[in-house]
Amino acid sequence: MGGYAAVIPKFVRQSINHEFPLVNVDGTFSRDFTYIDNVIKMNNLAFTTENKWALNQIYNTAVVDRTTLVQLLRSLRKYLSKFDPAIAKINSTYGPNRLGDVPHEQTSVEKAIKLLNDKPTHDFESGIKIAVEC
Protein backbone atom coordinates (compact mmCIF):
# COMPACT_ATOMS: atom_id res chain seq x y z
CA MET A 1 0.00 0.00 0.00
CA GLY A 2 2.99 2.29 0.12
CA GLY A 3 2.11 5.77 1.37
CA TYR A 4 -1.49 4.77 1.98
CA ALA A 5 -0.61 2.27 4.72
CA ALA A 6 -0.54 5.05 7.32
CA VAL A 7 -3.27 7.26 5.88
CA ILE A 8 -5.96 6.17 8.35
CA PRO A 9 -4.01 7.02 11.54
CA LYS A 10 -2.79 10.22 9.86
CA PHE A 11 -6.34 11.32 9.00
CA VAL A 12 -7.54 10.38 12.51
CA ARG A 13 -4.75 12.42 14.13
CA GLN A 14 -5.43 15.40 11.88
CA SER A 15 -9.16 15.21 12.56
CA ILE A 16 -8.69 15.02 16.33
CA ASN A 17 -6.37 18.04 16.11
CA HIS A 18 -8.93 19.90 13.94
CA GLU A 19 -6.47 20.05 11.04
CA PHE A 20 -7.48 19.87 7.39
CA PRO A 21 -6.44 16.49 5.94
CA LEU A 22 -4.54 16.79 2.66
CA VAL A 23 -6.01 14.56 -0.03
CA ASN A 24 -4.09 13.98 -3.23
CA VAL A 25 -5.85 14.90 -6.47
CA ASP A 26 -9.64 14.83 -5.98
CA GLY A 27 -9.96 12.04 -3.41
CA THR A 28 -11.27 9.45 -5.86
CA PHE A 29 -8.15 7.28 -5.68
CA SER A 30 -9.08 4.07 -3.91
CA ARG A 31 -7.50 1.31 -1.87
CA ASP A 32 -8.61 -2.01 -0.44
CA PHE A 33 -8.41 -1.15 3.26
CA THR A 34 -9.04 -3.98 5.72
CA TYR A 35 -9.80 -4.20 9.41
CA ILE A 36 -7.24 -5.82 11.71
CA ASP A 37 -9.57 -8.66 12.72
CA ASN A 38 -9.55 -9.84 9.08
CA VAL A 39 -5.75 -10.01 9.23
CA ILE A 40 -5.70 -11.82 12.57
CA LYS A 41 -8.25 -14.39 11.41
CA MET A 42 -6.35 -15.13 8.20
CA ASN A 43 -3.04 -15.44 10.08
CA ASN A 44 -4.62 -17.84 12.57
CA LEU A 45 -5.95 -19.96 9.71
CA ALA A 46 -2.50 -19.98 8.10
CA PHE A 47 -0.79 -20.97 11.37
CA THR A 48 -3.22 -23.77 12.16
CA THR A 49 -3.96 -25.22 8.73
CA GLU A 50 -3.49 -28.89 8.12
CA ASN A 51 -3.69 -28.41 4.36
CA LYS A 52 -0.18 -29.24 3.13
CA TRP A 53 -0.69 -27.06 0.05
CA ALA A 54 -1.37 -24.05 2.28
CA LEU A 55 1.91 -24.28 4.20
CA ASN A 56 4.75 -21.81 3.57
CA GLN A 57 2.64 -19.56 1.39
CA ILE A 58 2.28 -15.80 1.23
CA TYR A 59 -1.31 -14.58 1.50
CA ASN A 60 -3.04 -11.29 0.90
CA THR A 61 -5.60 -10.10 3.42
CA ALA A 62 -8.25 -7.65 2.28
CA VAL A 63 -11.93 -6.85 2.16
CA VAL A 64 -11.95 -7.19 -1.65
CA ASP A 65 -13.58 -3.82 -2.10
CA ARG A 66 -12.21 -0.41 -2.91
CA THR A 67 -12.69 2.63 -0.70
CA THR A 68 -11.88 6.12 -1.96
CA LEU A 69 -10.08 8.64 0.20
CA VAL A 70 -13.25 10.76 0.18
CA GLN A 71 -15.23 7.78 1.52
CA LEU A 72 -12.53 7.16 4.13
CA LEU A 73 -12.69 10.75 5.38
CA ARG A 74 -16.49 10.73 5.37
CA SER A 75 -16.55 7.59 7.53
CA LEU A 76 -13.92 8.92 9.91
CA ARG A 77 -15.82 12.19 10.34
CA LYS A 78 -19.07 10.30 10.93
CA TYR A 79 -17.69 8.18 13.76
CA LEU A 80 -15.15 10.61 15.27
CA SER A 81 -17.69 13.44 15.43
CA LYS A 82 -19.67 11.40 17.97
CA PHE A 83 -16.82 12.19 20.39
CA ASP A 84 -16.11 15.72 19.12
CA PRO A 85 -18.87 17.36 17.03
CA ALA A 86 -16.39 19.92 15.61
CA ILE A 87 -14.78 17.14 13.58
CA ALA A 88 -17.89 16.93 11.37
CA LYS A 89 -17.15 20.45 10.09
CA ILE A 90 -13.52 19.86 9.10
CA ASN A 91 -13.01 20.08 5.36
CA SER A 92 -10.28 18.40 3.37
CA THR A 93 -7.70 20.21 1.31
CA TYR A 94 -6.71 18.87 -2.05
CA GLY A 95 -3.19 18.70 -3.40
CA PRO A 96 -1.37 17.48 -6.47
CA ASN A 97 -1.06 13.91 -7.61
CA ARG A 98 1.87 12.07 -6.03
CA LEU A 99 4.42 10.96 -8.60
CA GLY A 100 3.90 7.28 -9.44
CA ASP A 101 0.66 7.01 -7.46
CA VAL A 102 -1.65 4.26 -8.70
CA PRO A 103 -5.28 5.46 -8.91
CA HIS A 104 -6.91 2.23 -7.73
CA GLU A 105 -5.77 -0.89 -5.93
CA GLN A 106 -7.79 -3.96 -5.13
CA THR A 107 -6.25 -6.99 -3.53
CA SER A 108 -6.79 -10.57 -4.61
CA VAL A 109 -7.50 -12.99 -1.77
CA GLU A 110 -8.26 -15.97 -4.00
CA LYS A 111 -5.35 -18.01 -2.66
CA ALA A 112 -6.46 -17.52 0.97
CA ILE A 113 -10.03 -18.45 0.05
CA LYS A 114 -8.92 -21.55 -1.84
CA LEU A 115 -6.24 -22.86 0.52
CA LEU A 116 -7.44 -21.61 3.91
CA ASN A 117 -11.17 -21.15 3.31
CA ASP A 118 -10.68 -17.57 4.52
CA LYS A 119 -13.19 -14.83 3.86
CA PRO A 120 -13.17 -11.38 5.47
CA THR A 121 -15.67 -10.92 8.30
CA HIS A 122 -15.53 -7.12 8.51
CA ASP A 123 -16.13 -4.78 5.61
CA PHE A 124 -14.48 -1.36 5.53
CA GLU A 125 -17.33 0.57 7.14
CA SER A 126 -17.85 -1.84 10.05
CA GLY A 127 -14.08 -2.01 10.66
CA ILE A 128 -13.74 1.79 10.85
CA LYS A 129 -16.74 2.01 13.15
CA ILE A 130 -15.35 -0.61 15.53
CA ALA A 131 -11.85 0.90 15.49
CA VAL A 132 -13.09 4.40 16.30
CA GLU A 133 -15.45 3.22 19.02
CA CYS A 134 -12.76 1.16 20.80
**Residue 91 belongs to what domain range?**
2-133
pLDDT tens digits, one per residue of 17-31: 999 998 888 899 999
pLDDT at 6: 86
On the CB side of 35, how many CA atoms lie within 13 Å of its CA? Answer: 18
Q: Look up the pTM and report it.
A: 0.86
pLDDT tens digits, one per residue of 60-112: 999 989 999 999 999 999 999 999 999 999 999 898 888 888 889 889 999 99
More confident residue, 97 or 47: 47
CATH (domain of 104): 3.90.25.10
Residue 123 CA to residue 113 CA, distance in Å, equals 16
> Into how many domains does the chain fold?
1
